[in-house]
Amino acid sequence: MKLVLSPLAVLTLTAALSAQLTLLDDFASATDVLWQRTDRLAGTGLGTTLYTFPSGRYRIATSQPLPALPQAVATGSAWLDSTINPGSYARGRLQVKVRFDNDATNALVITRYDLVSLTGYGFALNNFENRIYISTLSGTAAPTLASTPFALVSNTDYLMAIESVDSRHALKVWLAGSPEPALPQLTAVNGTFTSGVVGLVVYNQASNLGGTGGQLSAQFDDVYYTPYAMATGYGTGCPGSWNATPTLGVSGQPTGGGTFSLDLAQGPPGSLAALLVGFLQTSYPLGACTLLVDPGTSISLILPTNGAGAAQQSLQIPLGYPGIVLETQCFVLDGSSSFAATAGLELIFP
């Protein structure tokens, strides 16, 4: 069952998700004043990077054809605000439109990237191999976390949607103008990098992987970023007679207008749980447990647990309520007269 909270309920509880789909740049101004150019070719003898704006797009290209090189060479541009506030781009969804101008060019979107150590995550459209990748990046090395074949054609628009939440990463790619896939083609789990810049990159195909050189040139457009809520546990839960302490987590898209779920696990099978969704923390003893959500500013939802002792409540929140902190906790009946409880879970919506 999905609970759709009305605007009135959101105002009453102040239980809203603020993050909205935000356009970073559509390049209609034909400038990249909001970007930090990161020309990695300067001083290498391979020319320079050209930044131009054909038809309201952002073209990143090499000034001359590159020879066949034994290593990857990359150059691009970083979103300026992410160099100042890298933590604001660590958890959310990044969407970019990409077009290759020729078959020699591969495109890469970087996230949680450090411009000094040259480390972070890369989400690649490899036009040469007709594959897409999620990788960790360290200098010119890019160990693969996940990859799959994907047919790519030059002079064609593709959309990339990248989601990163804590150590979980996902990539969707689809032809512009067609429906967005329901599920990502790639997922990966890696927590090496926690924050950093986001950026747009073109790179070559190394000669040991079949590359023969050529000019690099790709166009980027319609860059969006949707920040997701930060989930932080607080307090402690209390175990039940089954010798386990129930847990409360979050899944889905915790952002304004999206649907997310609060997930109970490690409860007793075939029981009832009370999910508290509120606005303020408290710390009030209840038997061997502690109430961690202020009852005066919360609502409670009764959920049945399944045969595995789990329960889930979906929530959908309207757009337009920024700056909200949501507190949650779950109590589970343990027999007829006692209960167990999860720790608290705080959701901070940017």
* Residue 17, pLDDT above cutoff 60: no
The domain that holds 289 is classified in CATH as 2.60.40.10
The answer on 242 and 219 residing in a single domain is no
C-alpha 216/C-alpha 205 separation (Å) is 10
The answer on 177 and 285 residing in a single domain is no
pLDDT of 255: 67
The answer on 89 and 208 residing in a single domain is yes
3-state secondary structure of 295: helix
The answer on 132 and 94 residing in a single domain is yes
Nearest 10 degrees: Cα torsion 200, 201, 202, 206: -150
pLDDT of 138: 95
According to DSSP H, which parts of the chain are helical?
7-13, 80-84
The answer on 157 and 56 residing in a single domain is yes
**For the chain, percent of residues with pLDDT exceeding 90:** 76
Contact call for residues 200 and 94 (beta carbons, < 8 A): no
Domain membership of residue 185 as a residue range: 22-227
The answer on 170 and 304 residing in a single domain is no
The answer on 186 and 153 residing in a single domain is yes
The answer on 182 and 130 residing in a single domain is yes
The CB density around residue 92, as the number of other CB atoms within 10 Å, is: 24
The domain that holds 194 is classified in CATH as 2.60.120.560
Bridge partners (DSSP) of residue 339 are 333
Per residue in 50-100, pLDDT tens? Answer: 999 999 999 999 999 999 999 999 999 999 999 999 998 998 899 999 999
**For the chain, percent of residues with pLDDT exceeding 70:** 89
Residues 6+ away with beta carbon under 8 Å from 55: none
**pTM exceeding 0.85:** no
Q: How confident is the model at residue 325 (pLDDT cuts 50, 70, 90)?
A: confident
Q: What's the DSSP call for residue 269?
A: T
C-alpha 86/C-alpha 114 separation (Å) is 9
Q: Tokens 């690649």 correspond to what residue?
A: 124
Average pLDDT over residues 202-216: 95
3-state secondary structure of 88: helix
The answer on 106 and 221 residing in a single domain is yes
Per residue in 221-231, pLDDT tens? Answer: 999 998 887 78
Average pLDDT, the chain: 89
The CB density around residue 85, as the number of other CB atoms within 10 Å, is: 12
C-alpha 337/C-alpha 11 separation (Å) is 35
Structural domains counted in the chain: 2
Between 170 and 3, the more confident residue is 170
The answer on 241 and 205 residing in a single domain is no
For every residue of 115-142, DSSP letters joined together read TTTTEEEEEEEETTTTEEEEEEEETTB-
The answer on 200 and 108 residing in a single domain is yes
pLDDT of 64: 97
